[in-house]
Structure 1
Amino acid sequence: MKLVDKIQGIEILKDDAVYDEIHEHKGDNEQLSFELNTTFRTNEEVLKVLEKMTGQTIDSSVVVSLPFYTDYGRHMKFGRDIFINKNVTFVDLGGIEIEDQVLIGPSARLITVNHLTDPAKRRGLIVKKIVVKKNAWIGANVTVLPGVIIGENAIVAADSTVTKDVLANTIVAGTPAKVIKKVDQKTIRFS
């Protein structure tokens, strides 16, 4: 069983063995993240570093503009034909899955980790996976919180905070994000 599956939705306390394991892996990723963002890189070079981080092959159709930040690195999964704009942050300990043809705007943040509300356990963590379904568009400066699924063809308007699932073919906006419109499916075409 992968670490990401083992820790979903459970309290991870500071004294737990897995807490130390997480921080060890996080330290390894910080070196790769620094390497990724401290010099100009072609997209091919960016994808090679991301492959080191994730331990998986990333399709050449994925485009990631630098800088790109991730705290853990190993729990990201990318589909095909994805565009991630500048200054995007993935806090991916809980797992982030980006399906095909997704667009992510500049300065967006996908956050899978939260601290515990009990003051005695505040340094503890709880993680929940984020999934962004096919052809979704996350606008500039959006924050997506732990456990959210962004549905197929959905659009999240700029500056929104997504606290719960976004249904397929809807447009959401605001903080917290609420449905404002449906997507016109007659105009959706895939090559």
Structure 2
Amino acid sequence: MIEKMFWGLRALLYAPFFGKFGMPSYLGKPIFLKGIRNVFIGNKVRILPHLRMETQDGGTIHIQDNVVISQNVHITSAGNLTIGKNSLILGNVFITNIDHDYTEVGVHVLKQKITVKETRIGENCFIGMGAAIMAGTILGKQCVVGANSVVRGTFPDYCVIVGSPAKIIKKFNSETQIWEKITEQN
């Protein structure tokens, strides 16, 4: 409990440097923050220690109300990246809207252009341990992403996504009120 009080105090000290920092939110000791003037944090956001968060080239990060971000999470943006309200992101997760080009042979990847694609995590989403949410991913409401999944693409509301590359394995059926397995069509 005492450490959370320190995290709350840290949030108050860091708040003026963010584009917005809603309260009561708290921030565990980060490892790296860059361009946080373009980071907008809602109310009751809990960020645990060892966050790496960075914006570049005018990119923005919007973390809506009541989001929990666990330890060792890396979030990077050069465009618009949104994390919807009431979402939970477990540890060791990577979220980005940036892809690096690699097509110029003999040229270091970091010297090639970047491609930016909107990335959006819907409200009430659950992102499992070690997942990678890649550029251009759009998750609908209450999506569940399995541990260590690599996610790219658009996914509808109320689905369970797992694997590398990730695919939908369950969807919520509003008529039966049951999460139903998806069978592959061949």
Q: Tell me the TM-score normalised to structure 1 length.
A: 0.68
Q: For residues 42-57 of structure 1, what are the structure 2 equivalents within 5 Å?
A: 42-48=6-12, 51-52=15-16, 54-57=18-21
Structure with larger RCO (C-alpha < 8 A, sep 6+): 1
How has the CA–CA distance of structure 1 residues 75 and 156 changed in structure 2, closer, same or farther, with 3 Å as cutoff? same
Q: Which amino acid aligns with 2:79?
A: G
Gapped regions of structure 1 (runs ≥ 5): 1-39
Q: Indicate how the Cα distance of structure 1 residues 174 and 79 shifts in structure 2: closer, same or farther if over 3 A, else same.
A: same
How many angstroms apart in 1 are the aligned matches of 2:50 and 2:5? 10
2:88 corresponds to which residue? 103
Other-structure match for 2:155: 166
Give the secondary-structure state (helix, strand or coil) at the position aligned to 1:44.
Answer: helix
RMSD: 2.6
Q: CA deviation at 1:48?
A: 4.0
User: Which amino acid in 1 is paired with 2:74?
Assistant: T
* Residue of structure 1 in register with 2:134 after alignment: 145
Match of 2:69 in 1: 84
Deviation at 1:119, TM superposition (A): 0.5
Q: Which residue in 1 is equivalent to 2:99? A: 114
Unaligned runs of 5+ in 2: 25-43, 179-186
Amino acid at match of 1:126: T
Aligned identity (percent) is 20
Decide which structure has greater strand share: 2
2:118 to 126, 129, 146: 129
Alignment length (residue pairs): 149
Q: Which amino acid aligns with 1:44?
A: G
TM-score (norm. length: structure 2):
0.70
